[in-house]
C-alpha cells in the first residue's frame, strides 16, 4: 500500500505517466511526463538495418528471377530457328525458317552434274512461272499475286540461304506470309533433286 499523497509512476510505450493517489484511495488523472522512454538506440538501428538488408535481398532476387523468366519466354523455340529478312512478297518482314531446314547446306553446290540435272528440272517444273531466264516472268505468271520470285536478283539470292531455298521449294508457298501458288515440290522431288535444282538456281545471272 502506498502512503496517502504518494504517487506511482508507470511506464508506457512512449512516455512515463504518474498517478497521484488521493486521500480517499482513488487516483487522480495521470500526469503525463514529457520524458521519453529510454531504449538501446544502437540495437534498434541494427535491427532496422537487418530488416532493410533482408528486404533488399528479396527485391534483388525477384528482379533476377524476372529477368531469367523473361529470357526463357523470349527464347522459347528460338534455339532451333533463325530470323530471316525477305522482300519476296514486296514487303520486308521477319521470317522464321523451321529448325529442320535452317542449318542445311547444299552438298552439291558447284557440282556440274548436279547443275545439269537441276537445269532440266527447272525447265520442266519451274519455268512456266519463273520464266526460262529465271526473272519471274513466265507465261503462267500473269495475274499471279504475289509475283513469282526473280532468281536473277543477286542481292536477294545472296540473302537466301541454302536452308531457306530448300524450305521454300520443299514446302511451297501456301502459308503465311507468302500465300502464293508455289507448289510444294517436296511431295514430288527427293531432297537430292531439290539440291540439284538449287545448284542450278545459283548459276542464274
**Residue 69 within a domain:** no
Q: Are 136 and 130 in contact (CB under 8 A)?
A: yes
Same domain, 123 and 184: yes
**Residue 71 within a domain:** no
Q: Are 117 and 128 in contact (CB under 8 A)?
A: no
pLDDT value, residue 9: 47
Same domain, 116 and 47: no
* Triad 199, 204, 205: Cα angle to 5°: 145
Say how many C-beta atoms besides its own lie within 10 A of residue 133's C-beta: 14
Query: Which band of pLDDT confidence, cut at 50, 70 and 90, is reported for residue 175?
Result: confident
CA distance 2 to 20: 10
Q: Which domain holds residue 31?
A: 1-59
Same domain, 116 and 188: yes
Q: Domain total for the chain?
A: 2
Same domain, 134 and 196: yes
**Residue 173 within a domain:** yes
- pLDDT at residue 125 is higher than 50: yes
**Residue 174 within a domain:** yes
Cell numbers linked to 198: 538449287
Summarised one tens digit per residue, pLDDT across range 103-120 is: 999 999 999 999 999 999
Please compute the mean of the pLDDT values over residues 147-157 and round it to a whole number.
94
Question: Measured on CA atoms in the order 179, 180, 186, 191, is the torsion positive or negative?
Answer: negative
pTM for this entry: 0.57
**Residue 185 within a domain:** yes
CATH value at residue 111: 1.10.760.10
- Phi, psi (degrees; rounded to nearest 5) at 21: -90, 120
CA distance 162 to 47: 65
- Phi, psi (degrees; rounded to nearest 5) at 167: -60, -50
Beta strands in the chain (DSSP E): 7-11, 15-20, 31-36, 82-86, 93-97
Summarised one tens digit per residue, pLDDT across range 21-30 is: 555 555 555 5
Cell numbers linked to 93: 518482314
Summarised one tens digit per residue, pLDDT across range 49-68 is: 777 777 766 666 666 666 65
pLDDT value, residue 1: 47
- Phi, psi (degrees; rounded to nearest 5) at 84: -130, 135
Same domain, 92 and 154: yes
131 φ/ψ sector (left φ>0, alpha ψ -120 to 50, else beta): left
CA distance 166 to 170: 6
Query: Which band of pLDDT confidence, cut at 50, 70 and 90, is reported for residue 94?
Result: low
Please compute the mean of the pLDDT values over residues 78-87 and round it to a whole number.
43
CA distance 88 to 156: 8
Q: Which residue carries 547443275 as its cell? A: 115
- pLDDT at residue 12 is higher than 50: no
Percent of the chain with pLDDT strictly greater than 70: 57
Please classify residue 88 by burial: count the beta carbons closer than 10 Å to its beta carbon, then call 0-12 exposed, 13-18 middle and 19+ buried: buried
Amino acid at each position: 500500500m502506498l502512503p496517502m499523497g504518494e504517487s506511482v509512476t508507470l511506464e508506457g510505450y512512449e512516455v512515463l505517466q504518474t498517478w497521484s493517489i488521493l486521500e480517499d484511495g482513488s487516483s487522480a488523472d495521470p500526469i503525463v511526463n514529457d520524458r521519453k522512454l529510454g531504449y538501446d538506440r544502437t540495437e534498434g538501428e541494427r535491427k532496422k538495418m537487418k530488416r532493410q538488408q533482408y528486404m533488399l535481398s528479396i527485391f534483388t532476387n525477384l528482379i533476377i528471377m524476372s529477368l531469367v523468366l523473361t529470357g526463357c519466354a523470349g527464347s522459347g523455340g528460338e534455339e532451333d530457328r533463325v530470323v530471316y529478312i525477305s522482300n519476296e512478297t514486296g514487303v520486308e518482314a521477319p521470317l522464321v525458317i523451321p529448325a529442320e531446314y535452317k542449318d542445311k547446306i547444299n552438298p552439291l553446290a558447284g557440282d556440274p552434274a548436279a547443275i545439269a540435272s537441276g537445269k532440266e528440272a527447272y525447265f520442266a517444273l519451274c519455268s512456266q512461272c519463273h520464266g526460262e531466264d529465271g526473272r519471274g516472268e513466265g507465261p503462267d505468271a500473269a495475274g499471279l499475286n504475289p509475283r513469282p520470285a526473280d532468281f536473277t536478283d543477286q542481292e536477294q539470292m545472296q540473302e537466301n540461304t541454302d536452308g531457306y531455298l530448300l524450305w521454300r521449294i520443299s514446302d511451297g508457298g501456301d502459308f503465311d506470309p507468302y500465300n502464293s501458288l508455289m507448289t510444294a515440290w517436296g511431295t514430288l522431288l527427293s531432297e537430292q533433286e531439290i539440291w540439284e535444282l538449287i545448284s542450278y538456281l545459283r548459276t542464274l545471272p
